[in-house]
Chain A
Amino acid sequence: MRERKGVFVTVGTTSFDKLVAAVDSEPVKAALFRRGFSHLQIQIGRGTYIPSKVSGEDGELEVDYFTFSPTIADHLTAASLVISHAGSGSIFETLRLGKPLVVVVNEDLMDNHQAELAEELADRKHLFFARGPHLLAQTIESMDLESLVPYTPGNPKNIADQIDAFFGFSSPGEGSDQKGGEGEGASVSKISKLFSFFFR
């Protein structure tokens, strides 16, 4: 009796029929089954290609699908492998959960800057990367899940601190805000007001 290991496929808010069709194809389903996965859940988003549901009773990969869900996070958490389009939201949400991830680039997109991000994260061994749905089967066959390196989430506080520093605001916990020119006479501030049209 096979251990329950699920694969979750997500296209985010996009339509990515070629990926759904590739996942629904025999080579990919067979590859996933050979790699030890028991069931496949596909989030098809705005796509029009409908995959075939499979009950999995005959010793094959179970397949189910839906369009959208308010609880994508739950599906990601339950999965043992995630296959995703190259949107940064989907990528980082999955990496934050520490899930093995295969990113598939949509070659039909005009300005494909998304591939840059997936490529960089793949170079850093945080995920596996397929340049198009036609390469998904071989990516799944050859991927070594042990080689993945966990992604350490970034911290927006560093940028916030730099912005604070620009304005001279102290970061929370530090002393009072930077003040240069303390003890400026009243006359100087009056002149400043007069020329406030020009002065910042």
Chain B
Amino acid sequence: MEPDFLTIIALIVSLLVIRVTYVLYWTGRPFKRAPKTSLRTMIVLGSGGHTAEMLSIVNVLQKDKYAPRSYVAALTDNMSLQKAQVYEESLQNHENNVDKKRGAQFMQIYRSREVGQSYITSIGTTIVAIIHAMWIVLKLRPQVILCNGPGTCIPLCACAYLLKLIGWRWCTTIYIESIARVKKLSLSGFLLYKLPLADQFFVQWPLLQQKFPRSQYAGRVM
């Protein structure tokens, strides 16, 4: 007897419901068991103080646990990837045995919207940015995404979460709101907090922690 088309649909929907429930339950819950291997980490960089803050955090991470690392910045951001490359090279100089296969990668992503761009054309560029983000996430397969505010992180985090929902991969999103945000969250931060897309959400000022109780305050990075 041929499987009923409706039965197949019902089965897929049931599996999806189970998976989505599982994801919603585990989002934000700490790992029960430490990963046996290192975690592929994607680091989202941004203009202004974002990259400096991000690199100061990456600098104190245990490099062997968060590897291989990939850095993503907007196409129009010229400085950030350069700074990241200089940083990664400085690490290479310290270590004697460099595993070439696990070297850092650097990628650029289309921006959803440039400063001052009209909202009508923004719809088109946002769609392009989302498709590009999906391509990047599928290519880099991050298990951890670290971001701190630039708009470029939203399509990336959203795509990673979508893939998680359909059971493709598991990616933990860690968001650290910029030190420049004292009383209000950035738009990226607000979206990641509310939806919620982030597993861990750090703020750098105590007032924000009170306003957003699911966030964590662990001091400032500079």
* Residue B170 interfacial (CB < 8 Å): yes
Secondary structure type dominating chain B contacts: loop
Which of A116, A154, A168, A172 is in CB contact (< 8 Å) with B184?
A116
Complex contact B202–A159 (CB within 8 A): yes
State A162–B217 Cα separation when bound (angstroms).
Answer: 10
Chain A, interface size: which category? 35 or more
Complex contact A166–B219 (CB within 8 A): no
* Residue B48 interfacial (CB < 8 Å): yes
Complex contact A87–B34 (CB within 8 A): no
* Residue A78 interfacial (CB < 8 Å): no
Known: A88-B178, A117-B179, A167-B172. A156 touches B56 (CB 8 A): yes
Complex contact A169–B65 (CB within 8 A): yes
Binding stretch for chain B, among A17-25, A62-70, A131-139, A177-185: A177-185
State A55–B186 Cα separation when bound (angstroms).
Answer: 45
Complex contact B60–A156 (CB within 8 A): yes
CB distance from A153 to the nearest CB of B (A): 6
State A155–B59 Cα separation when bound (angstroms).
Answer: 11
CB distance from B129 to the nearest CB of A (A): 20
CB distance from A165 to the nearest CB of B (A): 7
Closest A residue to B65 by beta carbon equals A169
* Residue B213 interfacial (CB < 8 Å): no
Complex contact A169–B62 (CB within 8 A): yes
CB distance from A195 to the nearest CB of B (A): 10
Known: A154-B204, A177-B34, A178-B33. A87 touches B49 (CB 8 A): yes
- The 5 A-B residue pairs whose C-beta atoms are closest, nearest first, are A154-B220, A168-B34, A177-B34, A156-B221, A88-B49
- Residue positions of A touching B, CB distance < 8 A: 87-89, 92, 96, 113-114, 116-117, 119-120, 153-170, 172, 177-181, 197-198, 200
